[in-house]
Amino acid sequence: MASLAFAGALMADTSLWSDSFHFDGNAITEEPILLNPTDPLAYSSAMTEGEPKSLKIIVEDTLNPEIAASIFTDYSATPVEGTATWDYTAEDYKDFPTDDTYLLVETVVSDTEHRLFSRLVTILPEPAGLMLLGLAAAFFLRKRVKSLLMVVTLLSVSALSVKAESSVTEVKCMQMWPFDRSVIINFTIESDNPYGLEVKFYGSTDNGETSFDLIEKGTLTKDGSDGTLPGAGKYKTIWMPGETFYGLVTDDMKVRVEIEEVPPPPSDLYMVVDLTSGDISYLDSVPDGGWADEYKTTKMVLRKIQSGKFIMGSPIDELGRYPDELQHEVTLTKDLFIGVFETTQGQYKTITGSNPSYHSGNTRPVECVSFNMIRGAEKGAGWPADSDVDEESFLGKLRAKTSKDFDLPTEAQWEYACRAKTTTALNDGNNLTNRYEDGNMNKLGRYSYNGGENEGTAAVGSYLPNKWGLYDMHGNVWEWCLDWWDYNSKWSSDPVTDPVGPAEGTQRYLRSGSCYYGAGDCRSAYRGANDPSYNTNSGYGFRVVLVP
């Protein structure tokens, strides 16, 4: 029973703080600085003149090269023989180990100088006496003790037929100062939930007395940056603090990792509309073999998106950002269904009997459609005063056939569905490296630099979906939204609930970018607009939503 009690305590933490660590919010300077406040030796990359052009670090365990090799196997992609090298100009340097005492040999090169520094550095140090006596033993036993505890836990829980809960078992942090201001968050999750986990990261500058959401105060990358984790494992997340932290220096920085089990998907996860008969059915998962062409031509499939909160807009340092993308919190109080795909030419023709598109193809998105063609120029122009549509419009005919009030999404609904809980420029958790031609964008949608300029649109579903299974939210065709645009329709930073846009305006908003635009204009936060009667562009399309 003692082992079971210990196991229960071990598995109970769905929210766990790291130990306090040193944080320096200053920009990289040329003055000697301490890597860790308890380290008596200054660690410096000062140059007499010029900025560091490259920096290489060799790290060697001071007690036992074999132990060092095992540590680097944990934290690096490739095992090493007691030493490891990180290049400041590469991403690998961010996998710097976060335990105990190391010898650092640093070579710094600028345009005019070449300097060599050697330092003995303690990272996240234990008390000195215990460290010297127990370092090797602790490293040797760390994994074995954890494995033994897990075996005892699983045996005890299995014996009593008790289901283990997901938990955070370890959180360790360090700042990558003086290399940059980013904070490395190493954490371990124990879980057997097959549906994955939702994860949130919080910070504190006063030893945990108050806290803030890391997403709202900077940028998250790597594991869990999109708010989800697949399950049990050892993870590494990188937080780059925003301008709020410039100049802040504290020994009381902490990070908290909080997880919540994702529930089983609802049985009505997907709505399937038979566009010929108007009948509606539901699926709880994607069919075996994926979405066949019938779901893109004579049927229409929509995915259920649960209500929630998100940060709309883009951070000020996002590549390609425009001033009208001011970040603000949005709460959507109602679940909605949204098209898994952009409305295709086959679907449009099934409903209206016509196909206005320039780039022909049944599974390509319908284009050359105006807002008025979708909703109507008379009743359909009434949003947000009412949600009526003209009977002869696409939505008017779809509503008549199904007896359901399908519509276009609002800007907030569109961006919420696009992001799928990401906060980055793209909805797979990545940012852009180039606002025109970008390798990350190549994977997610058709745009100017991966075939769009010459070949036009792509068949829907040709690129990777977001975490919610929605395709082509970046590029392919612009997607009409309900909201009005005019010169006065600016976002504020105030939180809003179920926003519907201005009461009136001159143009309607468009989202997604298109096959003719660069990567920066296909971001999750990018906003376009045009006259609701405009239909001469082969990059203008739409997808539908339904609020039950």
Residues ≥6 apart with Cβ < 8 Å to 103: 59, 60, 61, 62, 118, 119, 120, 121
Coil/strand/helix, residue 434: coil
Which own/partner contact pairs does 452-457 have at CB distance under 8 Å and 24+ positions apart? 452/476, 452/514, 452/515, 452/516, 452/517, 453/515, 453/516, 455/515, 456/358, 456/359, 456/515, 456/538, 457/359, 457/361, 457/364, 457/365, 457/367, 457/515, 457/538, 457/539
pLDDT of residue 99: 40
Question: Residue 123 domain-assigned?
Answer: no
More confident call, 69 vs 58: 58
Task: Please check whether residues 226 and 244 belong to one and the same domain.
Answer: yes
Tokens of 347: 């679907």
Greatest mean pLDDT among 32-46, 77-91, 160-174, 410-424: 410-424
In sequence order, the 6+-apart residues with CB closer than 8 A to the CB of 144 are: none
Q: Are 345 and 283 contained in the same domain? A: yes
Residue 350 forms part of a structural domain: yes
Tell me whether residue 108 is in a domain. Answer: no
Are both 424 and 521 inside the same structural domain?
Answer: yes
Q: What is the pLDDT of residues 447-468, one digit of tens each?
A: 999 999 999 999 999 999 999 9
Are 468 and 378 contained in the same domain?
yes
Same domain, yes or no: 360 and 227: no
Q: What is the per-residue pLDDT across 183-224, written as a single tens digit (0 to 9) for each?
A: 889 899 999 998 899 999 999 999 999 999 999 999 998 889
Query: Torsions phi, psi of 7, nearest 5?
Result: -65, -40
Structure tokens at 253: 């920085």
Measuring CA to CA, how many Å separate 326 from each of 314, 315, 526?
Answer: 6, 8, 11
pLDDT of residue 497: 97
Q: Which range has the worst mean pLDDT, 144-158, 192-206, 348-362, 480-494?
A: 144-158
Angle at 199 between CA 194 and CA 200, to 5 degrees: 170
pLDDT tens figures, 317-332: 999 999 999 999 999 9
Domain count within the chain: 2
Q: Are 443 and 463 in contact (CB under 8 A)?
A: yes
- Which residues touch 35 (CB under 8 Å, ≥6 apart)? 43, 119, 121, 123, 177, 178
Last residue of some domain: 208, 240, 261? 261
pLDDT band at 116 (very low <50, low <70, confident <90, very high): low
Q: In whole angstroms, what is the distance from residue 512 CA to residue 492 CA?
A: 22
Which strand (E) or helix (H) includes residue 197? strand 197-204
Boundary (domain end) residue, out of 230, 261, 292: 261
Helix 2-11 vs helix 128-159: crossing angle, to nearest 10:
100
Which residues touch 243 (CB under 8 Å, ≥6 apart)? 316
How many angstroms separate the first and last alpha carbons of the chain?
A: 50
CATH assignment at residue 507: 3.90.1580.10
Domain membership flag for residue 224 = yes
370 occurs within a structural domain: yes
Q: What is the CATH number of the domain that holds 207?
A: 2.60.40
Does residue 305 share a domain with residue 364? yes
Tokens 């009409």 label which residue?
A: 480
Report how far residue 478's alpha carbon sits from residue 411's, in angstroms, rounded to the nearest whole number.
13
| Residue located via tokens 């540590």 | 71
412 and 423 in contact (C-beta within 8 Å)? no
Q: Let me know if residue 52 belongs to a domain.
A: no
Please choose, from the candidates 197, 511, 516, the residue with its C-alpha nearest in 3D space to the C-alpha of residue 371. Answer: 511
> Measuring CA to CA, which residue among 291, 285, 279, 281 is closest to residue 266?
285
Domain holding 196, by residue range, is 2-18+163-261
The band of 65, judged by pLDDT with boundaries at 50, 70 and 90, is very low
Q: Is 332 found in the same domain as 199?
A: no
Does 314 lie in the same domain as 218?
no
Q: In this predicted model, what pLDDT tens digit does every residue of 327-365 receive, in sequence order?
A: 999 999 999 999 999 999 999 999 999 999 999 999 999
Q: Kindly state whether residues 316 and 436 are assigned to the same domain.
A: yes
**Percent of the chain scoring above 90 in pLDDT:** 62
Higher pLDDT, 39 or 486: 486
Distance CA 411, CA 409 (A): 6
The least confident of 177-181, 280-284, 524-528 is 177-181
At 403, the pLDDT band (50, 70, 90 cuts) reads very high
Reported as a single tens digit per residue, the pLDDT across 18-30 is 999 889 887 654 3
**Residue 409 domain-assigned (yes or no):** yes
Q: Which parts of 2-151 are beta strand (E)?
A: 15-17, 21-24, 54-61, 83-87, 100-109, 114-123
* Residue that is last in its domain, among 215, 231, 261: 261
At 214 the pLDDT is: 95
Q: Looking at the structure, do residues 248 and 319 belong to the same domain, yes or no?
A: no
What is the pLDDT, as a whole number, of residue 86? 41
Long-range contacts: 313-319, Cβ < 8 Å, 24+? 313/491, 313/525, 314/425, 314/523, 314/524, 314/525, 315/219, 315/242, 315/423, 316/243, 317/219, 317/242, 318/425, 318/431, 318/432, 318/523, 318/525, 319/425, 319/431, 319/432, 319/433, 319/434, 319/435, 319/520
Assigned token pair, 232? 């049990």
> Is the pLDDT at 155 greater than 70, yes or no?
no
494 and 437 in a single domain? The answer is yes
Instruction: Give the 3-state secondary structure of residue 254.
Output: strand
Q: Tokens for 231?
A: 């399950």
CA distance 393 to 371: 10
Across 22-31, 144-153, 252-261, 453-462, least confident range: 144-153
Highest-confidence segment of 112-126, 261-275, 391-405 = 391-405
Question: Encoding tokens for residue 466?
Answer: 């977001």
Q: Is the pLDDT of residue 486 over 90?
A: no
Q: Is 312 within 8 Å of 410 (Cβ atoms)?
A: no
> In the prediction, which pLDDT does 538 show?
86
Gap between the Cα atoms of 437 and 241, Å rounded: 27
What is the pLDDT, as a whole number, of residue 123? 38
Asked if pLDDT for residue 316 goes beyond 70, the answer is yes
Query: Is residue 323 included in any domain, yes or no?
Result: yes
Residue 286 and residue 229 share a domain: no
CA distance 391 to 461: 30
Tokens of 51: 């900025």
Q: What are phi and psi of 136, to 5 degrees?
A: -65, -45
